[in-house]
Amino acid sequence: MTDEMARIAELRAQGFHCSQILLILGLERQGKSNPDLVRAMNGLANGLGDCGKICGVLTGAACLLGLYAGRGEPDEQDNHLLNVMIQNLIEWFEDKFGQSFGGTDCRTILHDDPWNKMLRCPQMVIETYLKALELLEDNRFLPPREPADE
């Protein structure tokens, strides 16, 4: 987990938003880069275009699940597991963060406090990224991760 945390810190220092960071991590895990996709994810930043609406960590993680389980070509079929995983992600996110911070909107989570953005967002990104990986592993879109060395 420390590798992911270091990478998140590096990407935040480069000015990427939570939603973008989640997709960058997912693309890197696939051995890919896609600046156009990362650029598009900017629309989810800070609660949908800096409007303070639904948290970019949650929407970005839903997109991350779609990166692995979504349909991208005309000859591909929709996979019903994608919506199931997104539903599980939302329930987990609401329980984990929505209850603690009073909701899942960016404005609510941050309470207009810049310290909250520095303290809460990185932790939310790593925990949500790990939850997305768990969902992908459980549904066989990713091989199981190796246990961390202690």
Residue at 26: amino acid letter: G
Q: Count other C-beta atoms under 10 Å from residue 7's C-beta.
A: 16
pLDDT tens-digit series, residues 68-78 = 999 999 999 99
| Residues of the chain under the 50 pLDDT cut | 149-150
Rounded Cα gap, residues 53 and 46, in angstroms: 8
For position 147, what pLDDT does the model report?
64
Rounded Cα gap, residues 71 and 136, in angstroms: 15
Burial grade of 24 (CB within 10 A; 0-12, 13-18, 19 or more): buried
